Structures are given as C-alpha cells and as structure tokens.
Amino acid sequence: VREPDLAGRHVVVSAGGTREPLDPVRFLGNRSSGKQGYALARTAAARGARVTLLSANPSLPDPAGVDVVRVGTAVELREAVLRAAADADAVVMAAAVADFRPAAYATGKIKKKDGQEPAPIALVRNPDILAEISGNRSRPEQVVVGFAAETDDVLANGRAKLKRKGCDLLVVNEVGERKTFGAEENEAVVLAADGSETPVPYGPKEDLAETVWDLVAARLA
C-alpha cells in the first residue's frame, strides 16, 4: 500500500472499449476487457485521489469510492473526457477507442436479402481524444497518459506515438496470445516525454497501475 500521494487530486481514467453501432443489434468493437483501466481507478482511489472512471462497455462492477460514467461510442467518450478533464490533475486514457465508426447508422436491423451480396461497410474516422486533450490542456500542469497496444516494433512505434499524440507518458504493451486483452496480468514499458523509460515486469495489472501513478505523482509534485 502506497502513501496517499494523490490526496486532493482529481484523476480521470478511461477504461474498456468503445462500441460503434451499425444498427440496433450490431456494433464494431474490440477486445478490451477494461481490467487495466479499472485497476488504475482502484489504485488511484486507494492513494487518495478523487477518481472519475469513464467506462466503455466492460462487464465489470463499479469499483467502490469512484465516480463511474458509462459511455458507449468514441464520440460519447470524447464528450465525457472533455467534461471530466476540465478540472483534472491527470487524465489516463486506458480505453481502447475505435479509430473508425460506421459512416451510417441503420435505425432498423440490416437484413440479408436472398441472392444478394452484402453491402460494404463505409467507415469514417473517430476523433483522437488523447491527441486532442494533450494539445489543449485545461491546466498547464495537467499530466496526460496514453496507452498503446502494439504487435510489432513495440518500442519504436511507441516512441513515435508518444510524440505524435503529445502526451506526457505512454504505456506501451505488446499484444499477443494470452497477453494484455482480457488477461489479469500485463507487462509494459512506460515511455515519458522527457526520454525516460520505465519497464514494468509481467505481473498483476495493479502493479502497472501503481507504476503509472508513481510517475504521475512525481510530475504533479
């Protein structure tokens, strides 16, 4: 158990994965379980922070002592992040946000028609929430943290992404069989805008969460 080094701080954590609806019964989604984001929310609360958890579709119960806002799509998550970040000391974007959404939403269920090939699904880009909040901080000392799940050239891609997004910290993890998505454990490297790199060995998602808050608390101090 850490010191209550986040007492008096407001932190915002996004968790889970957005769902982008095609029609009333179908969506485009991803494999994020929300477990890493929930671990971040629980550990920040244990360290004394006021926590707003923006939760995109995980099948997890609300953690105690945390304000939970449920969201569905990337556009809804963006609205919730902008609102919650207004007075936040730190924003951690652990959610897997869909890069694209269907261009059109069918208000009735899309039907298959005999003898007809399915129509292609047209996509449009979603807003990049992390880049937007990094570039428009509601307060200059606000710490912004992103996550990056990569399958190849993990560190090189992570360093490029940290620059491109403009955040202070980027947690990079390798995605693979039994790794990261849905798992209880994680393994990562936390890249910082100042060039430092903090490896976090394979272990419970709480361990990675504590390391993220150590690095955030050091920057807020």
Instruction: Point out the residues that are catalytic.
Output: 30
Distance in Å, CB of 128 to ligand C5P, minimum: 4
CA-based nearest residue to 110, from 32, 24, 31, 209: 24
Query: What does DSSP say about strands 90-93 and 10-16: parallel, antiparallel, or unpaired?
Result: parallel
Place of tokens 């994680």: 186
Q: Does 147 bind ligand C5P (CB under 6 A)?
A: yes
**CB of 53 closer than 8 Å to CB of 37:** yes
- 99 labelled ligand-binding: yes
Contacting range for ligand C5P; rule: CB under 6 A; set: 26-34, 48-56, 109-117, 125-133 = 125-133
Question: For residues 143 and 148, which CB has a smaller minimum distance to ligand C5P in the complex?
Answer: 148
Contact residue for ligand C5P among 46, 80, 130, 208 (CB under 6 A): 130
Q: Encode 71-96 in three state secondary structure.
A: ECCHHHHHHHHHHHHCCCCEEEECCE
Distance in Å, CB of 72 to ligand C5P, minimum: 14
Q: Does 129 bind ligand C5P (CB under 6 A)?
A: yes
3-state helix, strand, coil split of the chain in percent (to 5) is: 25, 30, 40
The residues that touch ligand C5P, with contacts defined as CB under 6 A, are 74, 93, 95, 97, 99, 126, 128-130, 146-148
